[in-house]
Structure 1
Amino acid sequence: MMLTKSDKPTLIGLLQYAAETNPEGLCISMDGHQRSFSELFQGALTRAKCLVNLGAQKGDKVGILMPNSIEYLEIFYGAMLVGCVPVTINNRYKVAELKYVLSHGDVKFLFTSAATETNFLNTLKEAFTDLNLTQSSQELADAPVLEKVYVVEDAPHPQISDADFLANMGGDGFTPPSVSSDDVAFIMFTSGTTANPKACCLSHRSVVGNGFAQAARWQMTAQDRMYDPLPFFHMSTILPLTASMCVMASLFATRYFNVDEAIETFINDDITIGFIAFPTLTNEIINHPKFDGAALSSIRLVNNVAPVSTLEIYDQSFEHGVGVSAYGMTEAGGVICYGDVEDSLEKRLNTCGKPFPGIEVRIADPENPSNVFGTNQKGEIQIRGYCLFEGYYKDEEATQNAMIDDGWYRSGDLGALDNEGYLSYLGRWKDMLKIGGENVAALEIESHINTHPAVVLSQVVGVADDRLDEVAAVFIEAVPGASVSSQDIIDYCKGQISNFKIPRYVVFLTEWPMSATKIQKFKLKSFDLGEKLTS
């Protein structure tokens, strides 16, 4: 008998149930390394025993600053088994961000890596000059809660190594504390833009509930094999892994995305679900010389978040797979709706699907959030239900600002609900440009420019202008080898979108400023825009 959402399992309870029910079933495959459900649970149990013997108690924070690895997941689930709260740390964080996260997050145990391609130890040492890399015990002035640091990969000294940590396993006796589905499962820091990242406290109820909902929406079974190349510190991997565990399906992950390896995984591992999610990765895959969508007969579903014109290309590229989109955020347990495998093409391209059962969505006036709009009206997306976070850790003011009466969360996103309950995402509320007094959504301009045959992806930001207060600047990643100029883009816009919406600056680039998975638009504003164009 399978577990269900009504059983109110915890994340670690979900893994334990899979380990007991389907011990030999493949849970995770990564770069040639595989773990069954039983093996992953036993690895987590080993690390849980070590944490207990080091004095870990329920509620202690366990930071993980590592690339994707089997050990990452063992630490993640092992901490939860003890009742500790894992703190997943963005690998891209630099000195100021790491200093803030470890201090504000009250991290007591930190696991990190000194692998050649990482720079974690140097960054940590710059953030905390009193960090001692010859022993695990620490006394840091700017992170007084931090007691232990362990370097899981390529430790610079034996007494700070993973082997030193695992030597603490001790005896066999271990009684896990009682953990409720309403307890905080882990803390995930949002990417942040210009301010410090916010620490989202996510309950087991939120993530497990969304995992069951995802599995049901996509009609997942134990035979599914999902490819997900995204980082473990992000909900775009934690939630799909949870959904896979709900039905005992297998997840195929990777340390870092590599398009050659991605193609081989699709071909050789009979992948049924592609959780690629972001255009920067999907474009690499479908433009690869070895990609043959017609030959990938095992693919039945591919998830991406992109403009309609781009989603249409993806849907055509994976000939055997149904393309779906999604809408969500960390504060709502990752995702609150996906497209359904049985939805029409029009619904799958133009909407994010219907909200999961148990989650309410309404559209309201962003300037007056209590003023609720009707169907097909554009406004701010508000969310209520089991999926919502437990608040921002040690930031009551930010938590209160994110909520309004009766438990509604303000997303800051613009959207609309149609008369069938399908949700459309229409851009960020604060991603609106004010051009000559007119409100213009950046997404509206991007959606048109993205249809240009020489454009892979475009991003629009507002820049100050003496006459109009603000004008559009577009940043473009062109198709490799394509010949396209700034004037070509301007000409493509003429007669198709209003003159005042046509970008006055066109910048071509080959690499985007990224957080873990998203383009950081605020950084684009500091780029050299070149000369202003006229339309």
Structure 2
Amino acid sequence: MVGIFGSRLEHISPTDYGAKNTLKNSYVEGPLDPPLHSSTIGQAFDAAAEKWHDREALVSCHENKRFSWAQLAERVTAFARGILAMGFRPGDRLGIWANNYADWTVAQFGCAKAGIIQVNINPAYRPSELEFVLNNVGCKGLITGVEFKTSNYIDMLQQLLPELSECQPGDLHAERMPDLRAVIRLGRETTPGMLNFADVLNIGRGQPAGFLESIEASLTCDDAINIQFTSGTTGLPKGATLTHNNILNNAAIIGNNLLYSTKDRVCISVPLYHCFGMVIGNLTSITHGITMVYPDESFVAESVLSAISSERCTSIYGVPTMFLSVLDHPAFGNHDLTSLRTGVMAGAPCPLELMKRIVSDFHLPEMTIAYGMTETSPVTFQTLPDAPLDKRISSVGRVCPHTRAKIVDIEDRIVPPNVQGEIMTAGYCVMKGYWNDEDKTKQAITEDGWMRTGDLGMFDEDGWLHITGRVKDMIIRGGENVYPIEIEEFLFSHPKISAVQVIGIPDEKFGEEIAAWIRLRNGEKATADEIRAFCKGNIAHYKIPKYIRFVDEFPMTVTGKIQKFEMRNTMIEELGLITPETA
């Protein structure tokens, strides 16, 4: 298998990745082959379009749109020339506030060719959050969707920017967002003060080739090209700043791990604004020639099933809650999923029983688990398609190429194997830093380049990483350290339970008590006493949840990550608890 980087992307057998080597300390290094590549994303895109000219590059099912690589390249180049003609220059920031549309991807690759830093904005953001992120990074432009569910993006922007009604498109001067000059909207309707996406393409089609070519020649792989805001669960969102080198090489490594070729068609139902969608989804397309398939503008279980069967997808991405929703959908058995072979699950720990169902019922014999974070481009560990099933179920794999990792105690000392500590990673994948926030960057990245993940884990003797929880999620009950994932795994084995999340809430006597939110399988009923009886004698008494709540759903981010802090706040409010002050 050869990607656009020629022999540099020749596949290395998965068995060569981290061959058995008994660890003496919890420190690992990934292999150095294939070598890292020094292309910019724009150069890689152009190489892909030239190599796979007539092959299908992108299918947007909900828009009924299809593009060959040649057709996609024409739009990408037109966008890049158009945005430069509007006065944008390399290093300027352009936000995109929209769901999964073909034009999102055109903008992604067009920005990369022009050296414009793309700023991914969560479609769930409300006006105050949008205002913060645009001002935080000084966005010069914004691409916006029209509406989604209860969000009317046009209305929100008109409220934030009353100057839009009077300004010429592309010449905005707004009191609340002084750096913003252009708002570009998707769709065919027009809005005062805004350009349509098609307008930018048309501007670009009228420009000569030379200026864009000179800009591209000046770019380097170490330039910042993307800002992704991490969820602000413990404070204001932080803008992780990533380079061409960071995310393009990460995509190439993931594609190699998945044994991708031009025969693969990937169902991308994860959001493009997230690294899962734009890196693991879109960027692996240009490194390996896969076809991108968007089932819908956001995750819809039935749309996923329809896209897999009609487009004959071979790979699928998602977080555990997404796979569970598809497996439990009433129409699951009505669709032909036999074209599937592989995929990536990431974003949250996967219960053992769910992984078994995914491999068997979903027809995913080569399903992989990936681990990482936005700040590390994102993937640093991955199980491989031919890994033993027990390893794919119980771990997140071994360290990826060109990446180092270690497990440390609270004093940053490396611990022995099978001892829990914080996971730290280093290598090409670590971000440049948080945009305009030196203090937060120094807290996250050590002077010698190690990223503090905030995740707890341990290595076994063969270097497989096992995630045991979040540093901040750990519950301390009466002096005992309790890890939610352990209780969640146990409760998930109950035949009536479909999904479960465990949190700690304040308790006057023990400091913290354990609460479980449980979603039952369709048609099942249970009581809190029944669940506690199931626990008794099977897990330690102090791990048995005091509070049990049955729910239909969990609070989640757009990417499907469970928001445990929201659950905790809800319980505190409902029970009238007081959070104890700590030093």
Coarse TM-score class (shorter-chain normalised): over 0.9
The aligned counterpart of 1:259 is 301
Q: In structure 2, do the counterparts of structure 1 residues 436 and 126 end up closer, same or farther at CA, with 3 Å as the change threshold? A: farther
- Correspondence for 2:539 among 476, 497, 512: 497
2:353 is the counterpart of 1:309 = yes
Single out whichever of 484-493 and 60-69 deviates more from structure 2: 484-493
Give 3-state SS (helix, strand or coil) of 1:107's partner. coil
Give 3-state SS (helix, strand or coil) of 1:175's partner. helix
Does the 8 Å contact 1:128/1:140 carry over to 2?
yes
- Correspondence for 1:374 among 406, 411, 416: 416
2:378 is the counterpart of 1:344 = no
2:229 is the counterpart of 1:195 = no
RMSD: 2.1
Give 3-state SS (helix, strand or coil) of 1:267's partner. helix
Q: In the aligned structure 1, how far is the partner of 2:371 from the partner of 2:122?
A: 21
What letter corresponds to residue 415 of structure 2 in structure 1?
Answer: F
Give 3-state SS (helix, strand or coil) of 1:376's partner. coil
The aligned counterpart of 2:139 is 107
Single out whichever of 294-303 and 461-470 deviates more from structure 2: 294-303
Single out whichever of 165-174 and 12-21 deviates more from structure 2: 165-174
Give 3-state SS (helix, strand or coil) of 1:407's partner. coil
What letter corresponds to residue 93 of structure 1 in structure 2?
Answer: Y
Give 3-state SS (helix, strand or coil) of 2:379's partner. coil
Q: In structure 2, do the counterparts of structure 1 residues 377 and 413 end up closer, same or farther at CA, with 3 Å as the change threshold? A: same
Q: In structure 2, do the counterparts of structure 1 residues 116 and 499 end up closer, same or farther at CA, with 3 Å as the change threshold? A: closer
Give 3-state SS (helix, strand or coil) of 2:185's partner. strand
2:53 is the counterpart of 1:19 = no
Deviations 1:166-203 (A, max 9, x none): 45333323333121111112111111103111100011
Q: In structure 2, do the counterparts of structure 1 residues 510 and 130 end up closer, same or farther at CA, with 3 Å as the change threshold? A: farther
What letter corresponds to residue 245 of structure 1 in structure 2?
Answer: I
Single out whichever of 490-499 and 113-122 deviates more from structure 2: 113-122
Does the 8 Å contact 1:18/1:38 carry over to 2?
no
Give 3-state SS (helix, strand or coil) of 2:203's partner. coil
The aligned counterpart of 1:409 is 451
Deviations 1:293-337 (A, max 9, x none): 995322211332412232122222224532321111000001112
Q: In the aligned structure 1, how far is the partner of 2:147 from the partner of 2:363?
A: 39
Deviations 1:363-413 (A, max 9, x none): 001x212x1112221110000001110100000000000022421111000
Does the 8 Å contact 1:293/1:319 carry over to 2?
no
Does the 8 Å contact 1:433/1:462 carry over to 2?
yes
The number of equivalent residue pairs is 529
2:86 is the counterpart of 1:58 = no
Give 3-state SS (helix, strand or coil) of 2:433's partner. coil
Deviation at 1:61, TM superposition (A): 0.2
The 5 Å alignment of 1:343-492 reads 343-365=387-409, 367-369=410-412, 371-492=413-534
Q: In structure 2, do the counterparts of structure 1 residues 434 and 129 end up closer, same or farther at CA, with 3 Å as the change threshold? A: farther
Give 3-state SS (helix, strand or coil) of 2:434's partner. coil
Q: In structure 2, do the counterparts of structure 1 residues 504 and 128 end up closer, same or farther at CA, with 3 Å as the change threshold? A: farther
Single out whichever of 133-142 and 53-62 deviates more from structure 2: 133-142
The 5 Å alignment of 1:35-114 reads 35-114=67-146
Q: In the aligned structure 2, how far is the partner of 1:167 from the partner of 1:428?
A: 48
Deviations 1:24-71 (A, max 9, x none): 111111113112222222111111111111111110000101121111
The 5 Å alignment of 1:110-189 reads 110-115=142-147, 117=149, 118-128=151-161, 130-132=163-165, 135-136=168-169, 137-153=171-187, 155-157=189-191, 159-162=193-196, 163-169=198-204, 170-173=206-209, 174-176=211-213, 177=215, 178-189=218-229
Give 3-state SS (helix, strand or coil) of 1:220's partner. coil
Q: In the aligned structure 2, how far is the partner of 1:384 from the partner of 1:115?
A: 40
Q: In structure 2, do the counterparts of structure 1 residues 128 and 450 end up closer, same or farther at CA, with 3 Å as the change threshold? A: farther
Deviation at 1:127, TM superposition (A): 4.0
Single out whichever of 353-362 and 416-425 deviates more from structure 2: 416-425
Deviation at 1:100, TM superposition (A): 0.6
Q: In the aligned structure 2, how far is the partner of 1:45 from the partner of 1:425?
A: 42
Single out whichever of 435-444 and 305-314 deviates more from structure 2: 305-314
Deviation at 1:494, TM superposition (A): 1.2
Q: In structure 2, do the counterparts of structure 1 residues 78 and 479 end up closer, same or farther at CA, with 3 Å as the change threshold? A: same
- Correspondence for 2:564 among 509, 521, 527: 521
Give 3-state SS (helix, strand or coil) of 2:154's partner. helix
Q: In the aligned structure 1, how far is the partner of 2:129 from the partner of 2:486?
A: 33
Q: In the aligned structure 1, how far is the partner of 2:91 from the partner of 2:452?
A: 28
Does the 8 Å contact 1:244/1:250 carry over to 2?
yes
Single out whichever of 150-159 and 402-411 deviates more from structure 2: 150-159
Q: In the aligned structure 1, how far is the partner of 2:236 from the partner of 2:439?
A: 14
Does the 8 Å contact 1:459/1:476 carry over to 2?
yes
The aligned counterpart of 2:253 is 213
- Identity across aligned pairs (percent)? 29
Normalising by structure 2, we get a TM-score of 0.87
Does the 8 Å contact 1:63/1:86 carry over to 2?
yes
Give 3-state SS (helix, strand or coil) of 1:525's partner. helix
Give 3-state SS (helix, strand or coil) of 1:463's partner. strand
Q: In structure 2, do the counterparts of structure 1 residues 297 and 124 end up closer, same or farther at CA, with 3 Å as the change threshold? A: same
The 5 Å alignment of 1:230-249 reads 230-240=270-280, 241-249=282-290
Q: In the aligned structure 1, how far is the partner of 2:498 from the partner of 2:219?
A: 47
Q: In the aligned structure 2, how far is the partner of 1:243 from the partner of 1:99?
A: 32
Q: In the aligned structure 2, how far is the partner of 1:100 from the partner of 1:12?
A: 29
The aligned counterpart of 1:290 is 331
Q: In the aligned structure 1, how far is the partner of 2:146 from the partner of 2:516?
A: 38
What letter corresponds to residue 58 of structure 2 in structure 1?
Answer: I
Deviation at 1:126, TM superposition (A): 4.0
Give 3-state SS (helix, strand or coil) of 1:430's partner. coil
Give 3-state SS (helix, strand or coil) of 2:407's partner. strand
Q: Which runs of 5+ in 1 are unaligned?
A: none
Normalising by structure 1, we get a TM-score of 0.94
